[in-house]
Amino acid sequence: MSDRILILDFGSQFTQLIARRVREAGVYCEMRPYTMGAAEIAAFAPNGIILSGGPASVTLDTSPRPDPAVFEAGVPVLGICYGQQAMCEMLGGEVESADHHEFGRAHVDVVEDCALLHDVWSIGGREQVWMSHGDRVTRLPDGFSVVASSEGAPFAATADDARKFYGVQFHPEVVHTPHGAALIKNFVRGVAGCAGTWTMAAFRERAIAAVRQQVGDGRVVCGLSGGVDSSVVAVLLHQAIGDQLTCVFVDNGLLRHGEADEVVRLFQEHYNIHLVHVDASDEFLGKLASVTDPEEKRRIIGATFIDVFDRAATEAGGAGFLAQGTLYPDVIESVSVAGPSAVIKSHHNVGGLPERMNLKLVEPVRELFKDEVRELGRELGLSEVFVARHPFPGPGLAIRIPGEVTKEKADVLRQADVIYLEEIRSAGLYDSIWQAFTVLLPVRTVGVMGDARTYDNVCALRAVTSTDGMTADFYHFDMEFLGRVANRIVNEVRGINRVVYDITSKPPGTIEWE
């Protein structure tokens, strides 16, 4: 892998989006903390460096700075928001706290051309951008010129074409800057000279070769949940090492309708993967009895999964490696500028495996984002039923049943959920929605059905859209669709007499989905 971009993270909520935009331009990149030293930067050998935004103020002596080696590496540098300010201050410019803060949509006027803006923005044009800053550059270092400005940020975009150093006060990585992705592509492809050969076909071949080299003639055990990540990992490993792989599928009694049968049928019959199916639903539900705290439920499910998985893996025997579907966002969060997280995605992860298992980790998709894992799944020939399915957290229905979890509640929720998803698919909306699910609320209402008065549960419907996996808006169903779904659920699911639709949006920076 020759072409690569280094992104130094200063704590911005949007840093992952920078990486996404670079990958979308066909260029491999990695995020690292801003503390990365000169030797590490040299060893990484980037074609270009991007400095992210961040919450700190450059006007404070204690605020973070990149190693000066960034500007001595002989490669192009792009500073975004705080990154622009840090770069200008370190190279001899000045930054001050602004009297006029800018947060949200703004417009900049293009006053000069440069390699970063070339063929994307035109001189004299006005462009919409997304601002989020309190400080601003007030004097440029020698060699820099202003290429775009706004009322609140006179140096909204700056350039030193000779050294290939560029800075923008706005955030090109977010969708609210319409041509921002093109600017980032200009930087990595045009300015940094990357060829744009980062493809999933190339990744697949490299990942298979890496697994074979790491595992050798050893055996691997993989926890298969039926979700996108673990399914893709299982198929990739099977193509790499064949019968050296054993998958363990634990049914915790909190899965979607028909999911256990679907997983077993696909991986045992279609792929002929050695699959150990453990029905531990009674064990999970027994330990969840009377538990109402959501974090405690997660902890119990994670700990029980470890116990069940440990027993199954031991019975399978001989494995020296454990395969996990760790994704790049998990890696990023564990090495963020705030330090390793005490709990990372607590409702997805099992909380770590006991040392007694003594297994070495195999994490073949740890460099990928969620949508890239889906693309890899298609490259591997995995069924679209698994590749395109909506995210489903490890604790499953438990986090969609506020309060105590029982088999009866899970069965009611499953029935409502399958009706909801059936109607979404029938309407041709499934692929337009990031995630859709039902929630059994801890509320009961009085209603009249036929000639009888009922006192039953309320079911909430949720559906969100997302273009980046970081922000979300509720899906705008028409009332006819919602009426049809509500009517079916109330009529076909005993125990529910009212249906509501959740129209909550998720703000920038939120990456958990429940």
**How many CA atoms, within 13 angstroms, populate the side-chain half-sphere of residue 457?**
22
* CA 331 to centroid of chain Cα atoms: 11
Which spans in 317-369 are helix H? 328-334
Residue for token digits 């760790």?
A: 326
> Quick check: helix, strand or coil at residue 131?
strand
Question: How far, in Å, CA of 389 to CA of 397, rounded?
Answer: 16
Q: Residue 33's beta-bridge partner residues?
A: 9
Q: How far is CA 62 from CA 5, 10, 176, 417, in A?
A: 27, 13, 31, 51
Eight-state DSSP code of residue 73: S
**Of 29, 102, 171, 238, which is the active-site residue?**
171
**Of 81, 114, 222, 459, which is the active-site residue?**
81
**Of 89, 102, 173, 379, which is the active-site residue?**
173
Nearest by Cα to 402 from 441, 444, 457: 441
Is 173 labeled as catalytic in the residue annotation? yes
Question: How far, in Å, CA of 401 to CA of 288, rounded?
Answer: 12
Question: How far, in Å, CA of 2 to CA of 423, rounded?
Answer: 47
For the chain, what's the residue count? 514
Question: How far, in Å, CA of 497 to CA of 514, rounded?
Answer: 23
> 258 exposed, middle or buried (CB, 10 Å; 0-12, 13-18, 19+)?
exposed
Question: How far, in Å, CA of 217 to CA of 265, rounded?
Answer: 28
User: Which positions are annotated as active-site residues?
Assistant: 81, 171, 173
